[in-house]
């Protein structure tokens, strides 16, 4: 054996050992991962992922389902009266048809499901997560498993996540978390922010704005808004979204304090009942079980207790479920 061959063998042995060592470390990391603990919503880091362009949707049956999912995502009102019973669209909270980073983009969500969710204390599939959005954000009914709307939306999310990692929280996912301010969230200050920054699009009474029959800007409270079970009714969730995305076209133009205050103002208004109330005895029970977070459900505002009603908006499901 000459010296060169000997050096090559040694180098190869070291490389193999290093590869095995790295693989073992990776395996240990995977083993140590607690899947019961949710991945961080928006980890720090440069946003480098780019979802595919719509012009690249394939011209076949898969592509047809992607297009159907995209169309329903931006115009969920097409399902009004069947699965949707308010004036919301998916794209209201997930901007640019679910493509925009820091607006809970769909490309960053697909690969993290199935996942445990504390909201319903179980492991949720992606289909169940979408169904939950219909139940709460759309104040509606969940599309059945295997139904075209549900399959179409899953397919759209699958296509948008082309090239994205699996089981990894990507920069740009969710809404960037705001730290609480020393002054706290104040709805009275928020009323001033709303009048100056939000009312031009969402209306003085939070009713949103229509052009003909088409909903252009969504209602923020009242029967046309997300219900008391939706994630956006939480003041912290709304503040995170508002800071990074509102006013539309002017992200990060509000101060942290303004975002907290206007979120408190918006979410201290009445809206359709939490659908989980249907199977519970009282508002107190619903509040105790499901509303241990930063929200106004069950609180008395202007002499009225929020959520103390049987108004489920347009949703026809009876009170007993």
pLDDT in tens, 12-62: 444 444 444 444 434 444 446 566 676 766 667 788 999 999 999 999 999
Cα(41)–Cα(60) distance, integer angstroms: 34
Identical fold between 54-160 and 187-305 = yes
Q: Could you read off the pLDDT of 265-291 as tens digits, one per residue?
A: 999 999 999 999 999 999 999 999 999
The pLDDT assigned to 188 comes to 98
Residue 235 banded pLDDT, cuts 50, 70, 90:
very high
User: How confident is the model at residue 317, as a pLDDT?
Assistant: 84
- Among residues 134, 133, 268, the alpha carbon closest in space to that of 206 is found at 268
- Superfamily for domain range 54-160: Cytochrome c-like domain (1.10.760.10)
* Domain spans of the chain, in order of start: 54-160, 187-305
- The H-or-E segment that residue 20 falls in is helix 3-32
CA distances from 304 to 10, 72, 235, 299 (A): 79, 37, 19, 8
**Distance between first and last Cα of the chain:** 81
pLDDT digits (tens, 9 = 90+) for 175-220: 999 999 999 999 999 999 999 999 999 999 999 999 998 999 999 9
Give the containing element (helix H, strand E) for 111. none
Q: What is the pLDDT of residue 33?
A: 59
Backbone torsion region of residue 299, taken as left when φ is above 0, otherwise alpha when ψ lies between -120 and 50, otherwise beta: beta
For residue 82, how many other CB atoms are within 10 A of its CB? 12
Exposed (0-12), middle (13-18) or buried (19+): which is 248, by Cβ within 10 Å?
exposed
Give the fold, CATH level 3, of 187-305: Cytochrome Bc1 Complex; Chain D, domain 2 (1.10.760)
């Amino acid at each position: 054996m000459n010296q060169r061959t000997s050096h090559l063998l040694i180098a190869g042995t070291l490389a193999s050992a290093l590869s095995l060592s790295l693989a073992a470390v990776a395996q240990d990391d995977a083993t140590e991962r607690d899947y019961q603990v949710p991945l961080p919503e928006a980890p720090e880091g440069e946003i480098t992922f780019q979802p595919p362009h719509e012009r690249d949707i394939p011209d076949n049956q898969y592509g047809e389902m992607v297009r159907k999912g995209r169309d329903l995502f931006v115009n969920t009102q097409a399902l009004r009266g069947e699965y949707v019973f308010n004036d919301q669209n998916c794209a209201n909270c997930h901007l640019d048809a679910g493509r925009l980073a820091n607006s809970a983009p769909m490309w960053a969500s697909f690969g993290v499901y199935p996942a445990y969710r504390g909201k319903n204390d179980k492991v949720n599939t992606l289909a169940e997560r979408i169904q939950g959005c219909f139940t709460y954000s759309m104040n509606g009914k969940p599309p059945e498993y295997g139904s075209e709307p549900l399959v179409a939306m899953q397919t759209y999310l699958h296509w948008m996540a082309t090239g994205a990692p699996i089981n990894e929280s990507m920069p740009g996912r969710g809404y960037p978390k705001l730290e609480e301010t020393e002054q706290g969230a104040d709805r009275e200050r928020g009323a001033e922010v709303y009048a100056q920054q939000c009312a031009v699009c969402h209306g003085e009474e939070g009713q949103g704005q229509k052009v003909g029959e088409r909903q252009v800007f969504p209602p923020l409270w009242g029967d046309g808004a997300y219900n008391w079970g939706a994630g956006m009714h939480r003041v912290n969730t709304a503040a995170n979204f508002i800071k990074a995305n509102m006013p539309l076209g002017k992200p990060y133009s509000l101060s942290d304090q303004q975002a907290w205050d206007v979120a408190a103002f918006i979410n201290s208004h009445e809206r359709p009942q939490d659908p989980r109330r249907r199977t519970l005895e009282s508002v107190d029970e619903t509040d105790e079980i499901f509303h241990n977070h930063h929200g106004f459900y069950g609180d008395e505002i202007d002499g009225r207790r929020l959520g103390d009603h049987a108004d489920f908006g347009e949703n026809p499901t009876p009170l007993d479920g």
